[in-house]
């Protein structure tokens, strides 16, 4: 099992699609850095004493995952299901069509193959989302002052009841690093949704687009449900991957939805790979 996982992880990181996905994510994050450079240049660190006191120019208000008003934020957190699927979500479908799958399962059993493939897809998808966001945080730390956000600041999009909101207003560095870990979990959980379609698609692009389509459908369903229930929770997985949220995104909700996505992808994927699509 350990050797199988090592091989699949190697294949997931040493392929051009992983590099392309990370590069696209970094480019989108770089737009946010340019916006913050312009912001700091226009207003300056010490230009407005009131702004500095209230943290309106703070790193923890303007880095990508928390800055819900920027164009770069909207672009990244719309296409992120595609980015996390690009590195390795297509691999099972491609290996079935090319015949490589038959050679692999002749050396390993199908369950070992599936678990190692699942771990590789999860890890590569998580890194594809978390790495650009983490780099954005670190580079923005060189540009924006790391002032502690003020709960009364109108620019802050972390409200009472949101994910670790108390930690955000007390130890914002720890909050930001934890959120980068949450990005990893979201990226991995959504990338593994590629297993749902199994080896049926003839084109790899269909497999890559599967998580995106599923999350768009869930987003539409959640919007309809919220309009009827008048609920203040942010239920859509498409939106929960960002720290900035207009509705509440408490810790239990995030871990519950991530757990559901993992359970569904693992159960359906195991049925597809191990039980249904036999050699």
pLDDT tens sequence for the chain (279 residues)? 888 899 899 999 999 999 999 999 999 999 999 988 888 877 755 444 444 445 577 888 889 998 877 888 999 999 999 999 999 999 988 888 888 878 887 788 889 999 999 999 999 999 999 999 999 999 999 988 888 887 776 667 788 888 998 999 899 999 999 999 999 999 999 999 999 998 788 788 999 999 999 999 999 998 888 878 777 888 889 999 998 887 788 899 999 999 999 999 999 999 988 876 655
**Crossing angle for the helix pair 16-43 and 71-85, to the nearest 10 degrees:** 170
Task: Identify the three-state secondary structure at position 2.
Answer: helix
Integer Cα distance of 88 and 103 in angstroms: 19
Q: Can you give the pTM of this predicted structure?
A: 0.91
Dihedral, 67, 255, 236, 58 alpha carbons, nearest 10: -10
pLDDT at 199: 79
Beta bridge partners of 233: 248
CB 193, CB 206: distance < 8 Å: no
The backbone torsions φ and ψ at residue 231, rounded to the nearest 5 degrees and listed phi first, read -90, 145
Integer Cα distance of 153 and 268 in angstroms: 45
Q: Which residues of 158-179 are buried (b: 16+ CB within 10 A; e: fewer)?
A: beeebbbbebbbeebeebbeeb
CB 87, CB 175: distance < 8 Å: no
The backbone torsions φ and ψ at residue 116, rounded to the nearest 5 degrees and listed phi first, read -65, -40
In angstroms, what is the C-alpha Rg of the chain? 20
Integer Cα distance of 164 and 116 in angstroms: 33
The residue count of the chain comes to 279
pLDDT at 254: 94
User: Ramachandran region of residue 163, left (φ > 0), alpha (ψ -120 to 50) or beta?
Assistant: beta
Q: How far is CA 73 from CA 128, 243, 245, in A?
A: 16, 11, 12
Integer Cα distance of 269 and 253 in angstroms: 24
């Amino acid at each position: 099992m350990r050797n199988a996982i090592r091989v699949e992880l190697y294949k997931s990181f040493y392929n051009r699609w992983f590099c392309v996905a990370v590069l696209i994510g970094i480019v989108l994050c770089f737009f946010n850095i340019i916006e913050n450079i312009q912001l700091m240049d226009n207003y300056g660190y010490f230009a407005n004493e009131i702004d500095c006191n209230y943290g309106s120019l703070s790193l923890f208000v303007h880095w990508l995952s928390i800055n819900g008003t920027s164009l770069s934020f909207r672009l990244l957190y719309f296409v992120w299901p595609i980015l996390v699927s690009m590195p390795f979500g297509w691999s099972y479908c491609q290996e079935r069509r090319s015949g490589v799958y038959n050679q692999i399962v002749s050396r390993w059993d199908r369950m070992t193959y599936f678990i190692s493939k699942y771990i590789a897809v999860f890890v590569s998808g998580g890194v594809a989302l978390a790495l650009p966001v983490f780099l954005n945080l670190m580079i923005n730390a060189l540009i924006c002052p790391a002032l502690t956000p003020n709960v009364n600041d109108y620019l802050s999009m972390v409200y009472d009841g949101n994910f670790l909101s108390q930690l955000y207003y007390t130890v914002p560095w720890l909050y930001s690093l934890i959120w980068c870990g949450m990005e990893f979990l979201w990226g991995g959980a959504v990338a593994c949704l590629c297993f749902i379609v199994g080896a049926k698609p003839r084109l790899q692009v269909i497999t890559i687009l599967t998580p995106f389509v599923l999350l768009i459908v869930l987003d539409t369903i959640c919007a309809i449900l919220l309009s009827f229930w008048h609920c203040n929770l942010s239920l859509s997985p498409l939106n929960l991957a960002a720290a900035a949220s207009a509705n509440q995104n408490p810790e239990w909700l995030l871990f519950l939805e991530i757990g559901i996505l993992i359970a569904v992808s693992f159960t359906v994927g195991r049925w597809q790979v191990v039980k249904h699509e036999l050699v």
